[in-house]
């Protein structure tokens, strides 16, 4: 008989986000319906609405250490260190039994931007451009500073990157490859070259003249694009049987995950692939759709994307769809691309831990194509019987990742 797979506990949470770097304070801002989106300017480009992070790298690195260490790596290190501290693992012990699983979409965007600007401007390209800008830079920096000697792996799967990283970390724990898994992601792409590329794609919401914080409006009838964000978030994961020795109580359980591909279009989402990911995650968790009380939706506020996700939820939940609480926290903190899945997973854990559901802020009139679900709008609501929740991350390239969490 096959042994029952280990339950995976979330024992540590850490973030550096547009809503702040304290988990509880960021959660309270989110529940109050506050947002972190503001107007940003870049030379030669139209202004954008974006959610940036007020971050001082001196909190984790000396001035000498900061040289050649990218902003994305600095924020990743800070968030991972906070998660380890929360898990009681400031000293991790046997580094060979600790694994690190990191998701990022672009890696060192500012380093790459600076390097290209120097080359085309006829000045000297910084000598550390390659190591600072490489996509596995955040994982390497965390490993070096925390003494992680086990598997250190980076996943670059566009907007699903850090959700996939968390899923793979849980698999590694169940296989016995590691005893502690640090999983999450980071993104820092608010630089001129990257912003210009996103503007060329014509998917960014312009800054709203009368309410810049309301520029990102997932599921709204008048939504007109996504808002970029930056930051980092990490979870510390342990097997249930190891918790007694560690003397830790879990924040929540990571029950299951699933990753499926649309195989349809590079940028346009497809209902088939999203339904497949949701159904596979529920099967793996041995749960019915009606068991799930909350979905932290991918909800980017693009015209094409939101109706597809809502249709996928309606198809999977069927008669239970009207009872499924749904919100997109991206309205408050922006879209962290490769780091989005980790931040939203952390917030889903907080929903279970606090028995509250965060809102989609800034929405007054739902798109008729997004109705049929129990959208939470404006401010958060209490949810005293919230037992299970899912977090969706649906990426360019068609990769769809769903994580299922349970109340501890």
Q: Which residues are catalytic?
A: 159, 298, 335
Return d(Cα 407, Cα 10) in angstroms, integer. 10
Is residue 42 a contact partner of residue 48, using CB atoms and an 8 Å limit? yes
Q: Where are the alpha helices (DSSP H) in 147-268?
A: 161-174, 192-201, 243-246
**Helix axis angle, 137-146 relative to 71-86, nearest 10°?**
40
Return d(Cα 188, Cα 80) in angstroms, integer. 15
Please count the residues of the chain: 408
Q: Count other Cβ atoms within 10 Å, centred on residue 221.
A: 13
Question: 186: which 2 tokens?
Answer: 């980071």
Is residue 117 a contact partner of residue 44, using CB atoms and an 8 Å limit? no
CA distances from 188 to 50, 112, 113, 214 (A): 12, 12, 12, 22
> In a 3-state reduction of DSSP, which class is residue 301?
coil
CA neighbor of 166 nearest in space, from 257, 286, 294: 257
**Helix axis angle, 340-354 relative to 161-174, nearest 10°?**
70
Q: Which residue has the tokens 């060979």?
A: 96
Q: What does the angle CA 18 – CA 188 – CA 220 come to, to the nearest 5 degrees?
A: 55
> In a 3-state reduction of DSSP, which class is residue 181?
strand
Q: Burial of 81 by CB count in 10 Å (0-12 exposed, 13-18 middle, 19+ buried)?
A: buried
Q: What does the angle CA 232 – CA 404 – CA 310 come to, to the nearest 5 degrees?
A: 90
Question: 89: which 2 tokens?
Answer: 């693992």
Return d(Cα 19, Cα 322) in angstroms, integer. 30
Give the neighbor-by-neighbor strand order of the sheet with 38-40. 38-40, 48-51, 228-229
């Amino acid at each position: 008989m096959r042994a029952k797979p280990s339950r995976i506990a979330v024992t540590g949470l850490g973030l550096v986000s547009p809503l702040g770097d304290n988990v509880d304070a960021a959660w309270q801002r989110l529940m109050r319906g506050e947002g972190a989106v503001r107007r940003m300017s870049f030379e030669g480009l139209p202004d954008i609405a974006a959610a940036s992070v007020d971050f001082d790298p001196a909190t984790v690195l000396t001035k000498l250490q900061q040289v050649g260490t990218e902003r994305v790596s600095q924020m990743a290190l800070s968030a991972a260190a906070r998660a380890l501290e929360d898990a009681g693992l400031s000293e991790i012990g046997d580094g060979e039994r600790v694994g690190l699983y990191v998701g990022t979409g672009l890696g060192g965007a500012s380093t790459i931007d600076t390097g290209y600007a120097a080359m085309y401007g006829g000045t000297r390209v910084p000598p550390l451009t390659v190591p600072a800008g490489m996509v596995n830079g955040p994982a390497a920096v965390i490993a070096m500073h925390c003494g992680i000697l086990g598997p250190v792996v980076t996943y670059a799967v566009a907007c699903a990157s850090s959700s996939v990283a968390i899923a793979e970390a849980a698999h590694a724990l169940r296989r016995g490859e590691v005893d502690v898994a640090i999983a999450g992601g980071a993104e820092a792409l608010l630089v001129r070259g990257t912003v210009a590329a996103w503007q060329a794609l014509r998917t960014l919401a312009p800054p709203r003249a009368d309410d810049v914080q309301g520029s990102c409006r997932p599921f709204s009838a008048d939504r007109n694009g996504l808002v970029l964000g930056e930051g980092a978030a990490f979870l510390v994961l342990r097997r249930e049987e190891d918790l007694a020795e560690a003397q830790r109580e879990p924040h929540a359980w990571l029950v299951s995950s699933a990753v499926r591909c649309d195989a349809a279009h590079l940028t346009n989402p497809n209902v088939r692939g999203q339904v497949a990911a949701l159904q596979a995650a529920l099967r793996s968790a041995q749960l019915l759709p009606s068991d799930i009380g909350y979905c932290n939706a991918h909800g980017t506020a693009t015209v094409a994307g939101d109706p597809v996700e809502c249709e996928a939820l309606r198809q999977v939940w069927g008669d239970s769809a009207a009872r499924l609480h749904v919100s997109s926290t991206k309205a408050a903190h922006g879209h962290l691309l490769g780091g989005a899945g980790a931040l939203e997973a952390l917030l889903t854990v907080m929903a279970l831990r606090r028995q509250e559901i965060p809102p989609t802020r800034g929405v007054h009139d739902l798109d008729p194509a997004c109705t049929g679900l129990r959208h939470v709008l404006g401010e958060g609501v209490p949810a005293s019987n919230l037992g299970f929740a899912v977090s969706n991350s649906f990426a360019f390239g068609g990769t769809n990742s769903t994580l299922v969490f349970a109340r501890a």
